[in-house]
Amino acid sequence: MELAFPDLVFFDRRGATAGQSQIAPSVQDKAKKEKRLFCALCRHLITHQDERIQVNGGHEHKCTNPGGYTFRIGCFHEAGGCIAIGEATEAHTWFKGYAWKIALCASCERHLGWRFQTPADYFHGLILERLTSIAGASGN
């Protein structure tokens, strides 16, 4: 015997609670949105915290270029909001065996870091102070 109470459905036919099937996706969506990283200048979506990787034993690295500029970068596998420009070069690379290109914000073209690549692998070294977790007005 099954009792029907239209406003009080506790389990659906698949065995999951009705509340879970309706609430869980919005909680997951919110958590995913909270992990997004944007260009600090224009708020264009750049990457996601889930794309963080470790390279040479760490996610974060303090790197100094030949001009004396020091950057605190974080390593991310994908950074879909960046565009890599120029010819790849291994000159002065911070990661042995990886060539690099400049990585710019695909929206405002601000320098956000570098794309490091080998024939079989790649990652993005992004300048952490040029990223923010605060979305723009459009919510990107």
What's the whole-model pTM score? 0.75
Q: Is residue 12 part of a domain?
A: no
Q: Is residue 104 part of a domain?
A: yes
Q: In this structure, what CATH number is given to the domain that contains residue 52?
A: 2.170.150.20
User: How far, in Å, CA of 80 to CA of 53, rounded?
Assistant: 15
Q: Is residue 65 part of a domain?
A: yes
Tally the domains of the chain. Answer: 1
Q: Is residue 19 part of a domain?
A: no
**pLDDT for 9-53, tens place per residue?**
333 444 444 444 455 566 556 555 679 999 999 999 999 999 999
The parent domain of residue 61 ranges over 33-132
Identify any residues that bridge with 57 across adjacent strands, giving them in sequence order. none
Q: Is residue 58 part of a domain?
A: yes
**pLDDT for 114-134, tens place per residue?**
999 999 999 999 999 999 998
